[in-house]
Chain A
Amino acid sequence: MTYTFDFGAVLDRAPELLWGSLGTLGLALAGMLLALVIGILGVVARTSKSEITRTPVIVFVEVVRNTPFLVQIFFIYFALPLIGIRLNPTVTAIFALGINGGAYAIEIIRGGVESVSRGQIEAGFALGLHKADVFRLIVLKPALRAIYPSLTSQFIMLTLTTSVCTSIAAYELTSAAQRIESDTFRSFEVYFTVTAIYLVISTLMMGLFALISRHYFNYPTR
């Protein structure tokens, strides 16, 4: 059997791939923001003294981290209308991505908050620093620095996960690919091209995150 590759059929649809890529970036960005918000709120609840706020967060984290995203997105997709919320697939996808990423963010941020030692905070006050400065310079920045690598790799994972959102027909790159595939029947070429696009996206993101890290966290630790 001989097969002739025809990437031309795919390249003809380049504008759709471009829009799909932007859709993916939008989904990822919105998902990350929501995940961060959920992560921070979750950590506040998770580290509180009251059991009533702690337990639901623990259960939420365990459930989300031990079930597949595909099942979660289906569940959310069908559950939201039942409680009277009607959203389009793309917004539902953002919601699902935020919930999924949020559970991971809670664990990551919690680790960072716990990594700041009491002695450093006390040393800050002893040096006569203002309360706000102590928080900004001694708690927040080192904690951010500590969680930055795992948080950003989690964000890249989230970006790659957006491809699963095609299952509820959200607007992103993989669903664009599936449309092109069903029109052209060039399955391999389409998915090969789109895989390359994802690789470019994740590589650029990694580079950007590294750049931010080099500028913002560029101070010696010892």
Chain B
Amino acid sequence: MGPIGENEFFFLMQGLRWTVLLAIVGFIGGGIFGILIALLRTSKTKVARTITAGYIGVFQGTPLLMQLFVVYYGVALVGVEVNAWIAVAIAFTLHASAFLGEIWRGAIEAVPKGQTEAANALGLHYVSRMKDVILPQALKISMPATIGFLVQLIKGTSLAAIVGFIELTRAGQIISNQTYRPLLVFGIVGAIYFIICWPLSHAGSGLEKRMAKAAR
């Protein structure tokens, strides 16, 4: 058994950096595409609705790990020589866009119909109606679920370890193999995830409770 010293801890922190970066990139990228998906999913065009429904269905009906593998090896086939980091980031972006798109579709539909009608009566066109009237309200409604998904995404980045990407969990695996102290190492790794995720979960459920109270 080897000791868990400064070097090991530093290695974990380096892994943590990639975990955080991956989650941020996935969330922002997924957020941008997710809004697009949500808008298409709620649009008047049937084709757009069907295609986005299929897109969401595929990502919600298959394991994240498989999505990682397919994108990882798929990107290489397209011919572009990309490094693992970009391939994994693309996979998380696609994954997040489907889930956030579905969450925000629900939120858009939860905004009272009268708001759309009022916006139409005021003569607002589609862009202004969405940007100034519907989306701000939908965003507020979706907040608890969005935060909930962010937590899921942060936990999900651990699967990049199976593809071989060195983030927090993979760093933990490597150190565990070196020091033969799996329980201590994975205990620390788990604690780090908990320290990040728990406040977010807490904020999300707090928000949900407050909103439920306000709605009553």
Contacts and interface: CB of A to CB of B under 8 A. Distances in A.
B201 A74 contact: no
A115 interface: no
Contacts of A206: 61
Interface stretch (A38-46, A122-130, A157-165): A157-165
The number of chain B residues touching the other chain, given as a range, is 35 or more
Say what secondary structure dominates the interface of chain A. Answer: helix
Contact of B183 (A78, A156, A188, A192): A78
Contact of B186 (A3, A65, A66, A74): A74
A188 B65 contact: no
Interface string A54-66: 0000000011011
B73 A188 contact: yes
B201 A78 contact: no
Contacts of B63: 160-164, 174, 195, 198
B197 A71 contact: no
Most buried by A among B173, B182, B186: B186
A66 B62 contact: no
B161 interface: yes
Contacts of A188: 70, 73-74, 76-77
B42 interface: no
A180 to B, nearest CB: 12
Interface stretch (B44-52, B133-141, B187-195): B187-195
B182 A164 contact: no
A72 interface: yes
Interface of B is mostly: helix
Interface in A116-167: 156, 160-164, 166-167
B62 A70 contact: no
Contact of A74 (B77, B79, B182, B194): B182
Contact of B197 (A66, A74, A78, A160): A66
Interface residues of A, number: 37
Contacts of B187: 75
Interface stretch (B2-10, B109-117, B118-126, B150-158): B150-158
A71 B169 contact: yes
Given A167-B162, A195-B66, A198-B61, A68 B186 contact: no
Interface string A174-205: 10000000000001100110110011001100
A203 B61 contact: yes
What are the 8 closest A-B residue pairs judged by CB atoms, nearest first?
A78-B182, A68-B158, A163-B63, A66-B197, A191-B69, A68-B155, A188-B73, A202-B61
Interface of B: 58, 61-67, 69-70, 73-74, 76-77, 79, 151, 155-156, 158-159, 161-162, 169, 172-173, 176, 182-183, 186-187, 189-190, 193-194, 197-198, 201
19 contacts: A1-B79, A66-B198, A67-B193, A68-B159, A70-B158, A70-B162, A71-B189, A163-B65, A166-B65, A166-B162, A174-B66, A187-B69, A191-B69, A191-B73, A195-B67, A195-B69, A199-B61, A199-B62, A202-B61
Interface of A: 1, 3, 62-63, 65-72, 74-75, 78-79, 82, 156, 160-164, 166-167, 174, 187-188, 191-192, 194-195, 198-199, 202-203, 206
Given A67-B197, A75-B190, A198-B61, 18 more contacts: A3-B79, A67-B190, A67-B193, A67-B194, A68-B156, A71-B189, A74-B172, A78-B182, A162-B63, A163-B63, A164-B63, A164-B159, A164-B162, A188-B74, A188-B77, A194-B66, A198-B63, A202-B61
